Amino acid sequence: MAILPMLPLFLLITLSRALDVAPALQEPPSPAPKGAEVGDPLAVPVLAYREREIPALEVIQQIAPGEELLQLLRSDPAYRKAYLASPRFVGSVRTYADVLRLNELGIRKAPEEALLSEAKAYGADRKSRLTPSALLRSQPLEIEVRARLISQQSPNFSNDDLRQHMLRSVPEFFGELQVSWIRIPLIDAAAARALTQEETRKVYDHLDKAAHKLQANEISWDEAVEKYSQDPITKPHNGAVGILKRDMTDRFEESMLRTLFADLGFKKLEGELLRGPILAQKWAYLVRIEGSRIDGVPELQRARDRVQRSLREMLLQKQLAGIRQVLPAQVLAPIVG
């Protein structure tokens, strides 16, 4: 099965279903989940999807079906406030929106074996020490979404498919990058909470403005770092980070590294390259790639498994982006105030 026509076909099906806005497709507002009461902090909406406003309790019941977390949140107001404002919970709300999207599109649930298989790969990608079962308990929604989308892909890729993907970005598999960056946190440390969707958009626009100024030579890199960066570690050094490799996921955010290393081509980089803004979970980045080094001769057999995993990841992210575009959702978490 060729991989190139797969994505357009998938998006065509997605669009045709998602743009059908007949009343039968739109879900009526649902009652509060079992256990929610009037005035209950867990009944506060944290997600707007289609015609529904979804309370925190519904998301929590998906994250942790048992009663242990729920009882802790109900009995400890301070912990509840911190938990509902945390980047991890806000990320879970975003991912629950993806679960609802896949449900609406009729994408089948993954069996336990597929969930554990994806949990194992997910952990390897991030150099986690947790077992697949523990990871599945820790990140149930994200792994579910990933496993369901991967089930839509071809089970096997041809050598030509893999080689083409490898050549899209040789440094991802055989090299390293010398980088500096401008970084802004997506956490309000003073308020001990994740940024809201609107605040995150402002951070993105702030870095986008810096990128345009740099590309137009209206500001130097050193001036941009001084004006825009909020990273206490790299800012005193003009944003210098040093050497990055794609597999440094035990030290840096995986989604940032994935975006940074994508589509760099197969030739040595000439000059400097600006990447971003890149939004991850904890930080927003504007990265300057200052050089690259390739280790040895790029041969598929040297990195076949990593190339295959990377190709699956690329297809997954494109599929997910297409679904999100036609089935939008508004994340209301964290609740400010």
Say which residue the tokens 């030509």 belong to.
Answer: 160
Tokens standing for 45?
Answer: 């909406």
Q: Give domain status of residue 207, yes or no.
A: yes
- Residue 10: the pLDDT is 44
Mean pLDDT of 189-210: 96
Q: What is the pLDDT of residues 217-270, one digit of tens each?
A: 999 999 999 999 999 999 999 999 999 999 999 999 999 999 999 999 987 787
Tell me, yes or no, whether 64 and 107 share the same domain: yes
Tell me, yes or no, whether 132 and 170 share the same domain: no
Q: Which helix (H) or strand (E) holds 177?
A: strand 175-185
Q: What is the pLDDT of residues 279-329, one digit of tens each?
A: 999 999 999 999 999 999 999 999 999 999 999 999 999 999 999 999 999
Q: Which domain holds residue 35?
A: 6-155+310-331
Q: Give domain status of residue 148, yes or no.
A: yes
State the pLDDT confidence band at 33, using cuts at 50, 70 and 90: low
Residue ranges in the chain assigned as alpha helix (H): 6-18, 56-63, 68-75, 77-85, 87-105, 112-125, 132-138, 140-150, 159-168, 170-174, 197-215, 221-228, 254-261, 304-326
Q: Give domain status of residue 318, yes or no.
A: yes
Distance between terminal CA atoms of the chain? 52
- Pairwise CA distance, residues 112 & 206, whole Å: 43
Mean pLDDT of 168-195: 96
Residue 273 maps to which CATH number?
A: 3.10.50.40
Q: What is the DSSP track for 194-251?
A: EPPHHHHHHHHHHHHHHHHHHHTTSS-HHHHHHHH---TTTGGGTTEEEEE-TT-TTT
Tell me, yes or no, whether 316 and 239 share the same domain: no
Q: Domains in the chain: how many in total?
A: 2
Does residue 138 surpass a pLDDT of 70? yes
Whether the predicted model's global pTM rises above the 0.85 cut? yes
